Each structure stands twice: as C-alpha cells, then as structure tokens.
Amino acid sequence: QVQLQESGPGLVKPSGTLSLSCAVSGYSIGSGYYWGWIRQPPGKGLEWIGSVYHSGNTYYNPSLRSRVTMSVDTSKNQFSLKLTSVTAADTAVYYCARLSITMDIWGQGTVVTVSS
Amino acid sequence: AIQLTQSPSSLSASVGDRVTITCRASPGIGSALAWYQQRPGRAPQLLIYDASTLESGVPSRFSGSGSGTDFTLTISSLQPEDYATYYCQQFNSYPLFTFGPGTKLDFK
C-alpha cells in the first residue's frame, strides 16, 4: 500500500523560505510516476504547485514558477518543495501526491502558516 | 492555459436526491478530466478519471460524463457521507494540472 507523508516547519516568517518533504512508502520513487505538490489556503480551493519526476524533470505552476523548486532524493525515497519569499498569501495546507494521469494517492496534508 | 469553471458553486440537497455538478473547460480537453471529493479536514479523494471511469472502491452512485468542454458529475442518490466539496481537474496537459474552483454540497 502506497503512502505519502508530508513533513516540515509549520511556521515560516515572511520573506523566508518554506521547505517541505514528502516521504513515500510502499513504492520506490525511482520506479516511475511524477510526484507533486498541491496547496489549499484556508477556506479556498486547490492549487497545483508543481510536478517532479525521479530523473529531476520538473514542471511548475506559472503563477509560482519564479519562487518554486522541487527535487527528488531517491536514496531517501522522498521528494521536496522549496518556496521562497513567502508572504501571508502562502499560508495553506500543503499536500503531496502521486501523479499517475491524475492524483490518485495523497498525503494527509500539513499546515504551513506564514507569520512573524 | 486551460481554464476550468464549475457550477453551481454551492448546492443544497437532501438524502436520496439526484445531484448534478457541471464543469466547463476552455479550451477543450477531450476526456482528460477527473473529479475529486474533499470532506472537511481531509485530503481530496479521486472519484472519477477519464471523464467517466470510476476509481476503484468508489460507490456506483457516482458517475461522470462529457467530453471536450462540458462535463458532469452525477450522484444518483445522495448519501449522508456525500456532503463535501467536489473539484474537477484537467490532466490534458499532464504533468501540468488545473483544478476547478469547487462545488460545495451541503444539507438542505
């Protein structure tokens, strides 16, 4: 059974960098699939942030591209998200997901608040 | 960029009702559409992909239809556990994605 688990600081200061990791169990990231990040601000809808392949290929939401970096660590079987220059608008629940043609497996989500 | 709209944005219905939610894509996306259910405080769950294929384990009261620009999600007989927010998502530009704004389904 494939499971994903997000981890990282729950509080980030404005202008700082948000860093999250997603640990994958039950499947080897190096075997295939894209892996992605999605966020949901309080009371709002879902926003796709980006997708990363085990080879390191990445695709980012154009609205966030200048601030986002995603990477994969196959030795740890996890992938990561970095979002720079954060503001209060980046406060959200951040989900990681496996990307078959759709997002078929999700992590439980982690709350990140941007505040001083 | 592919844009998705959903209607209605919110909907009130009773247990046993038949419910239909619409998603419109611009430009057209063939059948590259998925539907997700999100209960409060939970991660979204995939219901339907390829516009009409039911994900394994999803009750048969859920169905999807459409192609090109117009799509529908139908719940044939609403159950208490179906009160949630529903999102459509396009994967025509996989691995780039777009979500619709969501439809909140609540108790009438």
Nearest CB to B46 within list A53, A61, A104 = A104
Q: Tens digit of pLDDT for each residue in B43-81? A: 999 999 999 999 999 999 999 999 999 999 999 999 999
Which residues on B lie below 8 Å from A47 (Cβ)?
99
Helix (H) / strand (E) containing A51 = strand A47-53
Question: What's the confidence (pLDDT) of residue A100?
Answer: 87
Provide, as residue numbers in chain A, all residues whose Cβ is less than 8 Å from the Cβ of B84: none
Does the pLDDT at position A101 exceed 90?
no
Could you say which residues from 5 to 44 on chain B have a Cβ atom under 8 Å away from some Cβ of chain A?
32, 34, 36, 38, 43-44
pLDDT digits (tens, 9 = 90+) for A44-88: 999 999 999 989 999 999 999 999 999 999 999 999 999 999 999
Q: For residue B74, what pLDDT is reported?
A: 98
Tell me how far CA of residue A98 lies from CA of A21, A32, A53, B23, in angstroms: 14, 10, 10, 23
